[in-house]
Amino acid sequence: MLRFATIGSGWITDEYIHGAKDSGLWELTAVYSRDRARGEAYAQKHGAKLVFTDVEELARCKEVDAVYIASPNAAHYEQCRVLLEAGKHVICEKPLCAQAEKVKELVKLAEEKGVIFLEAIMFMHLPQRAVLEEALGKIGNISMAKIDFCQRSSKLDSFLEGQVPNIFNPKLETGSLMDLGVYCVYPALHLFGRPESFQADCIKLHTGADGAGILTMKYPDKLVTLTYSKLGQAGANTDFQGNEGTVYVESVSRLANISLWHKDGTTEKLYGEDEKYKLMGWEAKDFYRYIQEPEESREEYAHCVELSLWVAEFLEEARRQLGVRFESDKEA
């Protein structure tokens, strides 16, 4: 069993802890919080014995093998750098960094230190991804794909009332593309590779963040459109259209409710829906496997790293086209 610490105390950290513990492979030993009282409350909630308010101190802790990071995007780079430098394995929530060069730097650092550095994106670790890929092999030549993640933000009302929630504050490197669009970019690049070209457009908010957007990716034999929004809600709008059939996915982030429509008019239900903590558990299991079985998982891990770099480059170019700038762009 490996020992891990967490940075971040939101719902997604709760789910990761639940999934990691449920796997039987991980023991939560520490939590980090800038506020000690909040950190102690979170540690008590999840049964961790150590609380840190300084990342450098966490990095020196010999009772921690790995760290799960779910802090605001703008904090990812420095926290990852400090922990990797200290020889900790790191799994960090998407997106890793706003600039691809920083991702490359962290990947290189992880290689030098002989540790695993993984982007936490459920799509790459869910067993039902194999169900999706098998189904795509049954629909002939795919000419069109529409990948969608439009989910009305729980903070939208406060934003409309004049407040600036974190998710709509570009100082924290957030916005719709970085929060939801990344879930669309991952499957597109994994399934189809890099496009010949792509175009991006968005609805920009007065804060400078993007509230919704659309990306059109052009391949030699297909078009792939990615739609994402925090301004409104959409239903089951992800589909892959081939000349022999169509594959529908209700949730691209969780790969829930996958079905296959055949050209004879019949529809086949291929996969249902799992509880959130179980979804997070799969990436915790793979993270463990990459650490403990480096030779056996070498190619799989290398693909994850390569894809993280592709995604970082894609998101950075998309932001350039959209005119969405972050303060850290000046440093890159």
Q: What span, in angstroms and rounded, lies between the C-alpha atoms of 271 and 54?
A: 43
Tally of CA atoms within 13 A in the half-sphere of 322 that contains its CB: 30
Record the pTM: 0.95
CA distance 154 to 170: 17
* SS3 assignment, position 268: strand
Over the stretch 82-137, which tens digit does the pLDDT of each residue have? 999 999 999 999 999 999 999 999 999 999 999 999 999 999 999 999 999 999 99
What does CATH list as the number for 124-273+312-330? 3.30.360.10
Residue 231 has pLDDT above 70, yes or no: yes
Reported as a pLDDT band with limits 50, 70 and 90, residue 331 is: low
- pLDDT band for position 278 (50/70/90)? confident
Tell me which CATH homologous superfamily contains domain 2-122+280-294. Answer: NAD(P)-binding Rossmann-like Domain (3.40.50.720)
15: helix, strand or coil? helix
Mean pLDDT of the chain: 97
Q: Which candidate, 190, 199, 208, 226, places its Cα nearest to that of 318?
A: 199
The yes-or-no verdict on residue 261 having pLDDT over 60 is yes
The residues pairing with 269 across neighbouring beta strands, listed in sequence order, are 259
pLDDT in tens, 292-322: 999 999 999 999 999 999 999 999 999 999 9
The two structure tokens encoding residue 236:
């089951």
Whether the pLDDT of residue 236 is over 80: the answer is no
- Write down the domain spans for the chain: 2-122+280-294, 124-273+312-330
Residue 38: pLDDT over 70:
yes
CA 112 from centroid of its chain's CA atoms:
24
Sorted by sequence, the CB contacts under 8 Å of residue 60 that are 6+ apart come out as 86
In single-letter form, the type of residue at position 164 comes to V
Is residue 9's pLDDT more than 90? yes
Which secondary structure element, helix H or strand E, spans residue 129, and what is its range? Answer: helix 128-136
Token reading at 296: 């056996």
pLDDT at residue 121, as a whole number: 97
Would the pLDDT of 147 be above 80?
yes
Nearest to 138 by CA among 270, 250, 256: 270
CB 20 within 8 A of CB 284: yes
Q: Is residue 176 very low, low, confident or very high in pLDDT (cuts 50, 70, 90)?
A: very high
Q: Is 151 helix (H, G, I), strand (E, B) or coil?
A: coil
